[in-house]
Amino acid sequence: MAGKRRKKTSLDRRKKQKKYRYLYWGLLLLLAAGLVLYLAAYTPAGDGPFFPGPSSGDDDTEAADADADADRAYGYGYDYDLVVAGSDPEGIAAALAGARSGLKVLLVDNRDRPGGLFTLGWLNTLDMNYGPGGELLTQGIFAEFFRQVEGISFDVNTAQQVFTQMLAEQEGLTLRLETEITGVTAAEGFVLALELAGGEKVKARRFIDATQDGDLAFLAGASFSVGMEDLGSKRRQAVTLVLEVGGVDWAEVTRALNSPARDRRYNGAAGTSAWGYLEEMRAYRPLDPQIRSRGLNMGRQNNGHVLINAMHIFGVDGLDPLSRRQAQQRGQREAENMVAYMREALPGFAGAYLVATAPELYVRETRHLQGLYRLTIDDVLEHRDFWDKIALASYPVDIQATAMDDWGNVIGNPAIYSIPFRCLVPRELYNLLVVGRAASYDSLAHGSARVVPVGMAVAEAAGVAAAFSLEYEVDFHQLSAERELVALLQERLRAQGAYLADFAIPYSLEGHPLYPVVRELRALGLVRGGYDNNYRLEEAAELAALSRIVGSYLERVPAGDYRAGHLPVGQGPVYVDDLRRVLGGIRGAEHLQGELETLLQKHGLDSLARPVQRGELFVFLLEFLRKLE
């Protein structure tokens, strides 16, 4: 109770200080007005205006200039209340939310149209997030957008029109395209201004970084990890070049993918969306040895063309402009060959032809902010309901392939979880928030939280938080620390259409004696539960799983002095001799041979005749691999 009284008193004091501050400024303005009237009464006729300026006769221009001067004078020299960098869907949501909250907002981007990943990357199928009861979790501005497009798969031209109209109709919001941010002016943890190409500076009180790579926060000094560095790995998810394909028989595609003969977990079609053909595309032979196709994600356009998200391009540094340009060129060279294969192999594609490739790459992963809090894979899959939640999500933890030796995996499938406000706040900066895939998510949690609908819900909260922080005269660090203020922010978000229900949902293996082992291996990305969150602990372990866990672990920094000697392939079962061959064959770990046998005896595996169960394998591997650290 004492803590609650302290917080309430602090808030009351702030409100009282704010009231006296308004009274002070009101009296000051009255004195200034009296001085103006006095000077006007004693100024000889024919003298110039009180605010000197060019006598061009353009009264409207002079009045506008005077208003701008006054705005700057009483706004401490700021051009805007809020500047949002990046006009991807997340940036649009942040800018709209800030303007709807009464702020003067600038949305700035170096590209020629708003919409980013949707309108330039041509990602036209939405990764929807529904709650346990089927309710849409990402309500608010995302839902506004969703209602105005064709469906879960939409026409990218429609998306551009909807975004353009939403921005144009919003009072208090200025959009500047084809404007490059070249630098940042910052001092003592506060961003003061953006430096634009040509030497222009734009000053603001609050900033939101909605760039895909966290560029603004990086320039201002925020700390990040890159790719899967948090796991001790140099890997990062593949990039994709989306293809526009004409001549596709959509009715035939729908029939083929909805056939009872296909695995309906991975194949299907409905409306303007279709997905599948994984087995056929695995047989594709690329021209580029670092390009591969996964199953097709397809979205039909209004002109009958189909946008296809399938090409995985590896070996790309998403933070290097040259590497990105080269990757796009590689993808363009591959595109004709890939479509030619589709013509031969896929039902509905007999008349298919390549129309174009997307203007931009779809880059899934670069920087991850080191914020006041980092969302973890346990937060996602244990359905964490944070006290400072500002958005809800439920998308599967979808880690796309990272190299030619990896087909990607689904770590797990949450029923629901929340994103805390602290994930938006850089440790080093007080008046800037980061939204989108560069927010403060661990690389595994990012596999779910990176999707655009979640990003738009988070960004909307950021825009409202910017206004809220100015209203209560707190920076984002202070706001994130005061539970009472966060509760008021959540009330405001709900009032404006956000969905922030409380929840308590059990999670897979909760209370199971082996869950601590699964949890530790999962946090390293070494085990996965798939779409059904089933770790199959009592089933026979597969050789492929043994190889994947050991091989992935040995790539990590703590085990950097070791190399795998023998990693079997295939889905055959694991026997104890397989453990001896794989673990005993690790180069650099010869000194652990005795301990390997001791551990086999300890866990009752040394003379086991049957296949090793997955649960047994996980327990044994965790203990053995720890010895390599």
Q: Domain spans of the chain?
A: 80-230+365-495, 243-357, 515-626
3-state helix, strand, coil in the chain (%, to 5): 40, 15, 45
**449 and 441 in contact (C-beta within 8 Å)?**
yes
Look at residue 184 in the predicted model and tell me its pLDDT. Answer: 97
Question: What beta strand segments (E) does 426-558 contain?
Answer: 432-434
Q: What does residue 214 show for φ and ψ, rounded to 5 degrees?
A: 65, 35
What are the CA-CA distances from residue 309 to residues 216, 240, 297, 439 (Å)?
A: 28, 7, 5, 24
Task: Give 97's pLDDT tier (boundaries 50, 70, 90).
Answer: very high
Q: How does DSSP classify residue 176?
A: E
CATH architecture of the domain formed by 80-230+365-495: 3-Layer(bba) Sandwich (3.50)
Both structure tokens of 303: 């002109």
Report d(CA 504, CA 519) in Å as an integer.
Answer: 19
Look at residue 23 in the predicted model and tell me its pLDDT. Answer: 56
Look at residue 42 in the predicted model and tell me its pLDDT. Answer: 38
What are the CA-CA distances from residue 207 to residues 5, 88, 107 (Å)?
A: 32, 15, 10
**346 and 216 in contact (C-beta within 8 Å)?**
no
User: Dihedral through CA 83, CA 89, CA 93, CA 99, nearest 10?
Assistant: 40
Is the per-residue pLDDT at 523 higher than 60?
A: yes
Task: Give 17's pLDDT tier (boundaries 50, 70, 90).
Answer: low
Cβ count near 342 (within 10 Å): 26
Task: Give 265's pLDDT tier (boundaries 50, 70, 90).
Answer: confident
Q: Tell me the DSSP string of 349-414.
A: -TT-EEEEE-SS-B---SEEE-BSS-B-HHHHHTT---TTEEEEE----EE---STT---EE----
User: If you average pLDDT over residues 205-225, what whole number do you get?
Assistant: 98
Give the tens place of pLDDT for each residue, 286-317: 999 999 999 999 999 999 999 999 999 999 99
Is the per-residue pLDDT at 55 higher than 70?
A: no
Is the per-residue pLDDT at 86 higher than 80?
A: yes
Averaged confidence pLDDT in the chain:
90
Give the tens place of pLDDT for each residue, 375-416: 999 999 999 999 999 999 999 999 999 999 999 999 999 999
Report d(CA 239, CA 164) in Å as an integer.
Answer: 27
Both structure tokens of 297: 């994600």
